[in-house]
Each structure stands twice: as structure tokens, then as C-alpha cells.
Amino acid sequence: MKKIVLLLIATLLYNLLNAQTITNPRAMAEWEEVQGVLFYDGSKIVHSTTHNDSLYFKELRRVKFSIAKTVVEEGIMVYVIEPEDNGFREYCIDNGLPEDKIINVVFNPTTMDVSGWERDEGPVSIYKNEVGELHFAAWFNDRGAVLLANKMNVPLLQDNNNEYSIFTDGGNYLTDGHGRLFADSDALFGSPISDFIKNHYKNNMGIDDIVKLPPYMGHIDYYLKLINEETFVVSDIPQSNYNTQMDSDFDDSLKIQQAVDYIKNNYVSCYGRPYKFVKITNAPTIMLTNLNVESPTSTNGYTNALILNKTVLVPMYDSIFDGNTAGIAEFDNNALEKYREIMPGYRIVGIPGMALFIGGAVHCLTREIGAAEPVYISHAWLPDTVNVTNEGYEIKAVVKTISGVKNAKLFWATEPDLTYLDIEMNNTALDTFVATIPAQVNGTKVHYYIQAESNSGKVNQKPMVAPNWAFSFFVSDGSISIAENNHSNIKYELLQNFPNPFNTTTTIKFGVAEASQTKITVYDIFGKQIDVLLDGYLSTGMHEVTINTSKWASGIYFYRLSTKGFSKTQKMVKN
């Protein structure tokens, strides 16, 4: 008995000594600032018995080069794990990429086995004390993470002696940067999730809440992507992929909807508001005749994108093999346009040839590396409609950085093409900064963003792409409400109000073909201006304005839409 007790004590002490926790850890979200991106290249090594054609590997190298080129254009580093004499770094330099932006991390393939799936096995960027020293977390057997950590001199959280290790299967989870993780894998977590695994995520990644989506489908990045704290992109499997309800693609489409419904019905964002979901139709399943396989898989689509600071890399499926195309460019173009719509201000870049990666795409192949010193800004942006107030509109943000915050500023404008005015934000509480946008007249659309500077001189903005795109809200006293339904192929138009004739309320729908300053004015039968329903900067899309006309006299009125290069007038009648 004594020997058993001593053995248990020794085991406990060993585990305690080998536990690699850090104080107040925080796993970064994928839209936060990065300093580099990591991927594996082993093009000269035959590592597949099915796809061993040299032309196939040549195509893969071209695809990875297009990723590296886009990363360098964003101004960040490319880290490539590759076998000795593989030559991918030299290939990049020979094709015009700067030497100082391409760092290779080489290994001897005869003495070391590196899997190449760095997305799934690490290294995950973790910050000590939320914004402090950068650490990596990785699976216990991920040698690629060890190689990169040594190369960059970044501490690695890894338990080589525990079969559970620190679970970081990247394709299998999404994090919001606020301690919540969305996952889809019985294999990863088990069912139910053990307290042991929960503690590992809590102690090493700062994850307080694991949202395990039903039912198990595979890697979550095949069908969901968080692009900010409150918005998911969702894969929409095209109906052409299935003919009957017995088809597996039909079953997958139901599972995706179940996952979305589960989030909608059980969770709100870190800001206490409902999540938003935007669907992007997948490319249809196609046959790669040269490889005699189908690709992409039914659930593998445009959600498998990668956000790198101000650039989004989106997988493209029309360019397939040896210069051939699949005739599905419309799906690729639709995905690119949708990303431009939901992530305005970002540079949206398509990465061709992703159908070559059976079961994988841009996100699956890569791993983002967090910034060494993040300037972290958390802000619940104001909703689209804010009531008119004499006090103005309070903007509050949490700002943190390891060297301390030198200043935080609020920039605002009623027309984004004009110069933004800036207001110093006051530090009202620990890490909380506040400023107030002055009160605006009814019908104004206000645009704003937040900028913070650390004591070390590091500057960041929220949103990161500002002022190319900024948060916005519409000011109304309740007599006007505005709704937006943005999509492509919009033309300038002013529709007849409805109902017409009307009593106390009526709605006007109109189209804006190009984001611009837009004004809707109401005149009486004598041409006298009686109201301005809207005077602000609107995005491309169909919009509608609902008016409370209870104070108007009965009679005939005219409403005019004036925007960039377009003007039209319609008649309406109040009973």
C-alpha cells in the first residue's frame, strides 16, 4: 500500500512539474494582427501513393507560391517548414519574392517525421496575461511546432509525456478571442467532454466555454468561419450536388443547418447580441479526370479562407490542373463578391487550384502566427439605428497592450470620403476607454473607428482596415427607420412607396449601385421642402426608409432620391 501511495505522489509531482501553464492565457482570434503565416512544403518528396505524378506536385508548389506571394504583399513573413534540399524558399526567391520575407525551417526527413498539417497540430498563438508574451501551444507529437518555436525563440506549451496533451486541432475549432471555442469533433473532445480536457484548454489557451456543435461532421472550417466577434460565414451546399434526400450531400446540408440553429438557439456573442450568419454557396462537386477523384468534397468550400491582417485569402476551385479549368468560375466569382460585401475594406484575393487538395484548402494548409506585441481593441460597435439624442453617442472600448496604452482616439465622420474628426478617448476604468460622438440630426449616418497606440509606438485600429471601411450607425428619432439588404447587381432605382395612398406610415425602397452620399427629400405640391428623410453615406445595395407621417396634412407629396450621378422623383398621396 505504501508503495502505491508513493507511486501516486511521484506521478502527481511529475505531472505538476511538467505542466506548462501560463498566467491568464488568451488564444487569439483569426482576424487579429499577425506577424507571419506558416505552411509545410514537401514538393520534392513523394509522400502519397495515389498522387505521385510530378506534375501534381508541381501544381501544388504553384498553389503554395501564390499563397506566399499574397502573404508577402500584405507585408508579413512567410515561414516554410520543408525537408532539406526541398528548395521551396529558393523557388520563391527565383520567382521574385524578397529573401528577407521567406524563412525556411528545414529538417532531415531521414531522421525526423513532420506531418505537414500545421493547421491541425499547431503551433497555436497564445498570449500570456491576454496581451503579453507570445507563446505557442501544440500537440505533444507535433515536431513542426517545435522547429518553429526554436527558430523564432518563442516558448512552446507542450506536454510530451501526456497522451491527452494540449489539444489544438486547428481545423476543428474556431475561437472568438474572448474565451469561447466552437468545435465539431467527437474524436477531438470525446462525448461528453472530460474535465481533464476542459482544464487543459482553460489553463493553456484561456478557453472558458467550449461549444461542441451537433452533429459530428469533421473539421469545422469546412462549413463555418468566424470573421469577427459576431459574424459566421456558412457553407451552402449547392442543390446540384444532391438529387434525393438519401444523398450524403443532402444529409450534410441538414447537419450544417443544425449546427447553425444550435448556435442561434443557445448562444449570443461575447457582446451579448445574436450572432449573424452569411451563406456562401460552395463550388459543386467536380471530377478531376487527371487524378480520377472528385473534388471539392461536399462541405469543403469558401469558408476555408484565411484572414491575414487586411487581406483575406479565399480558395478558388475553377483552376484545376495543368492550366485546365472546371467551368465553375461563377461560383468562385460569387464567393469573392460575397467576401467583398461582408468584409468591405479588406483586400480579397482568390487562391487558384485549391481543388487539388482533397479535403483541404487555404485555411487547412496554413497557420497564422500572432503579432509579437498586439495592441488589442475590443469594442461592441453601435447598431445600425441609434436614436437622436442631445447627449451624443458614447463609444466604449477595452484597449490593452503589454507596454501600456499611450493614447486611444475615436475618429468619426458623417461622410467617409471626408476627413475624419478625432476625439481623445478617456481612460475611465482599468483598460476601458470612452469618447462621445456629438449629437446628429435625424437621418444622418455616422461612420467611426478606434485607434490606439502603445507606449512602445505600436499602432492598431478597430476595424483593422479603417479608414477604408469603418463602423457605422444610422441616427433616427423614431419617425424614420432604414433597412439595408446589400447584394451584387444592384442598379440605381427609386420604387413607388407602399402603401400608397397611406395614412400614418409608408415605406420607400430604393437601390444604390455604388456606395455614395445619398439624400431623400420630400416636397409638397407647391415644391416646398417639408422633410429630409435621409442624408448620409450608404453602401451598395437595396435600402428602404419607413416614415411616420402622422404630422403631415392630407394631400399630394413628392419624394426625390439624389445620389452619385442619379436623381429621380416619385409622387405619393396621404389620405
What are the φ/ψ torsions at residue 520 (nearest 5 degrees)? -125, 120
Q: List C-alpha distances in Å: 335 to 62, 134, 313, 348, 463.
A: 22, 34, 11, 10, 22
Pairing of strands 124-127, 134-137: antiparallel
pLDDT at 9: 42
Give pLDDT tens digits for 92-149: 999 999 999 999 999 888 888 787 778 887 789 999 999 999 999 886 667 888 899 9
Residue 482 has pLDDT above 70, yes or no: no
Q: Give the torsion sign (CA, 12, 143, 180, 20).
A: positive
Distance between CA atoms of residues 11 and 31, nearest Å: 40
DSSP label at residue 383: P
Q: Which residue in 303, 335, 345, 263 sits closest to 515, CA to CA?
A: 345
What are the φ/ψ torsions at residue 285 (nearest 5 degrees)? -65, 135
Amino acid in position 298: S
Tell me if residue 258 falls in helix, strand or coil: helix
First-residue to last-residue Cα distance in the chain: 94
pLDDT at 7: 39
Q: Is residue 212 within 8 Å of residue 183, measured between CB atoms?
A: yes
Residue 50 has pLDDT above 50, yes or no: no
Question: What grid cell was written down for 40?
Answer: 509545410
Amino acid in position 575: N
Find the DSSP H helices in 383-520: none
Same fold, 376-473 and 479-574: yes
Q: Which residue in 446, 444, 438 sits closest to 391, CA to CA?
A: 438
Distance between CA atoms of residues 230 and 214, nearest Å: 20
Beta bridge pairs of residue 482:
545
Distance between CA atoms of residues 567 and 510, nearest Å: 11
For 23-370, give the CATH class: alpha beta
Amino acid in position 305: A
Sequence spans of domains, the chain: 23-370, 376-473, 479-574
Alpha-carbon 510 to chain mean position: 30
Give pLDDT tens digits for 184-213: 866 566 666 777 778 878 888 899 999 988
What is the fold of 479-574? Immunoglobulin-like (2.60.40)
Q: Is residue 230 within 8 Å of residue 272, measured between CB atoms?
A: no
Distance between CA atoms of residues 256 and 72, nearest Å: 34
Q: What is the pTM of this model?
A: 0.81
Q: Which residue in 129, 55, 560 sits closest to 353, CA to CA?
A: 55
Alpha-carbon 149 to chain mean position: 26
The H-or-E segment that residue 125 falls in is strand 124-127
Tell me if residue 490 falls in helix, strand or coil: coil
Distance between CA atoms of residues 212 and 220, nearest Å: 10
Residue 4 has pLDDT above 70, yes or no: no
Give pLDDT tens digits for 16-45: 334 457 899 999 999 999 999 998 888 665
Distance between CA atoms of residues 361 and 365, nearest Å: 6
Order of all β-strands in the sheet with 555-563: 529-538, 516-524, 555-563, 566-574
Average pLDDT over residues 530-542: 81
Amino acid in position 519: K
Q: Give residue 321's pLDDT band: very low, low, confident or very high (50, 70, 90).
A: low
Q: Is residue 155 within 8 Å of residue 174, measured between CB atoms?
A: no
Q: List C-alpha distances in Å: 202 to 160, 166, 181.
A: 19, 10, 11
Q: Give residue 170's pLDDT band: very low, low, confident or very high (50, 70, 90).
A: low
In 10 A of CB 493, how many CB atoms? 14
Distance between CA atoms of residues 439 and 537, nearest Å: 17
Q: Which residue in 228, 269, 225 sits closest to 119, CA to CA?
A: 225
From the options 2.40.110.10, 2.60.40.10, 1.20.1250.20, 3.90.76.10, give the CATH code of 376-473: 2.60.40.10
Give pLDDT tens digits for 505-522: 898 989 888 777 888 999
397 Cβ contact partners less than 8 Å away, ≥ 6 residues apart: 377, 378, 379, 408, 425, 432, 433, 434, 450, 452, 462
Residue 409 has pLDDT above 80, yes or no: yes
Q: What is the rounded average pLDDT for all residues in the chain?
A: 83
Listing DSSP states for 136-205 in one string gives: EE--TT-HHHHHHHHHHT--EE--TT-SS-----GGGEEE-SSSEEEE--HHHHTTTTPHHHHHHHHHHH
Average pLDDT over residues 238-255: 70
Higher pLDDT, 144 or 467: 467
Percentages (nearest 5) of helix, strand, coil residues in the chain: 20, 35, 40
Residue 309 has pLDDT above 60, yes or no: yes
Tell me if residue 306 falls in helix, strand or coil: strand
Find the DSSP H helices in 210-290: 248-266
The size of the chain, in residues, is: 575
pLDDT at 11: 37
Q: Give residue 51's pLDDT band: very low, low, confident or very high (50, 70, 90).
A: very low
Least confident of 12-16, 336-340, 553-557: 12-16
Give pLDDT tens digits for 410-425: 999 987 777 899 999 9
